[in-house]
Amino acid sequence: MIRRAWVLATVLALTACGSSSPPAMHDPEAPLRDAFAQILADADSVLYGDLLNYLGNHDAERIPTRCRADTCSLGYIRYSDPTRFSVENLDLTVVGTRPGIRIVREDGSFEWTDVEVYGGWMQYAFFATQADLFTNPADPNRGYTRVKAYAVGQSQGVNPILAGASARWSGLMLGRDLAAGSDRGQALQGDATIRVEFGASGMEADVLFSGIAVIGSGAARPDMEWRGMAVEGGAFERYESPSERIRGRFYGPGQEEAGGIFERGTITGAFGGVRH
């Protein structure tokens, strides 16, 4: 059976039907699947952005999600189990690297959807932007694209220890710009820096995205920054409106990694970095 695209999961899983199984075949992407499974093995934290749907140049429609602690909810449905995420039945391609991060593109075509994911895979967490195109002719949502962003990992729920005056995590952001235009919904990539220091009222985090561009065309987007966010319980966030917010956490036994989700204007996505 095939799960529908609007279920909150990284992909739609396929379950084989029939009385016999096909012969085992070599999977050249098995090492990547194993690496993903290893991240999930100890993951206990899920962050999800709102779901955004668009058709052509019409305004994007928003389906709000709410996250508290390790649980995210869509209406009356709650999602707190990282094992819902999977890369089975997807084609995996490493399209780039950063120190401690593999940038992986995931592609799949199913009965109801075409799936495209750009993800950053670290040791203790992953973050991604996903687009699902509804293709079922019997579905009233046929032709719509749904965009989602998420970060999943092992969160200790404690603040990082600063050996000096500050600490820095470097990596990248991945997102999609839903502004109407010829490159609407195409993936974005840029540099991400997360900096933590002690301020007047306690530990604070700054997040900066720079060098943002559409993957493929190279069309540039403005830098983004959020400054002076309180770090509490190994997390930070700022919420001004549905289209102006960021939420992040630190991952790993020693808070070696950071990641989260964001939205600014017409751009929504996820980010992550490794401590240096």
DSSP code, position 183: T
Residue 223 belongs to what domain range?
30-275
16 by DSSP, 3-state: which?
coil
Phi, psi (deg, nearest 5) at residue 39:
-65, -45
Question: Is residue 155 one of the residues assigned to a domain?
Answer: yes
Question: Is residue 216 one of the residues assigned to a domain?
Answer: yes
Question: Is residue 61 one of the residues assigned to a domain?
Answer: yes
Q: How do the pLDDT tens digits run along the chain, 276 residues long?
A: 233 333 333 333 322 233 344 444 567 799 999 999 999 999 999 999 999 999 999 999 999 988 876 678 876 666 667 878 999 999 999 999 999 999 999 999 998 999 999 999 999 999 999 999 999 888 888 999 999 999 999 999 999 999 888 999 999 999 999 999 989 999 999 999 999 999 888 999 999 999 999 999 999 999 999 999 999 999 999 999 999 999 999 999 999 999 999 999 999 999 999 998
User: Strand pairing partners for 21?
Assistant: none
User: Where would I find the H helices in 92-234?
Assistant: none
Say how far apart CA 72 and CA 27 lie, in whole Å: 33
Residue 107: which of 77, 128, 121, 87 has the closest Cα?
87
pTM: 0.89
Question: Is residue 16 one of the residues assigned to a domain?
Answer: no
Question: Is residue 20 one of the residues assigned to a domain?
Answer: no
Residue 125: which of 145, 150, 105 has the closest Cα?
150
pLDDT at 79: 64
Say how far apart CA 45 and CA 157 lie, in whole Å: 10
Say how far apart CA 98 and CA 120 lie, in whole Å: 9
Chain position carrying tokens 């075409």: 114
pLDDT at 122: 98
194 HSE (CA, 13 A, CB side): 35
Residue 204: which of 248, 149, 257 has the closest Cα?
248
Question: Is residue 14 one of the residues assigned to a domain?
Answer: no
pLDDT at 69: 65
Question: Is residue 22 one of the residues assigned to a domain?
Answer: no
User: Strand pairing partners for 172?
Assistant: 191, 272
pLDDT at 89: 92
pLDDT at 25: 55
Say how far apart CA 147 and CA 142 lie, in whole Å: 15
Question: Is residue 146 one of the residues assigned to a domain?
Answer: yes
Chain position carrying tokens 């084609």: 91
pLDDT at 153: 95
Chain position carrying tokens 């404690």: 158
Count of structural domains, the chain: 1
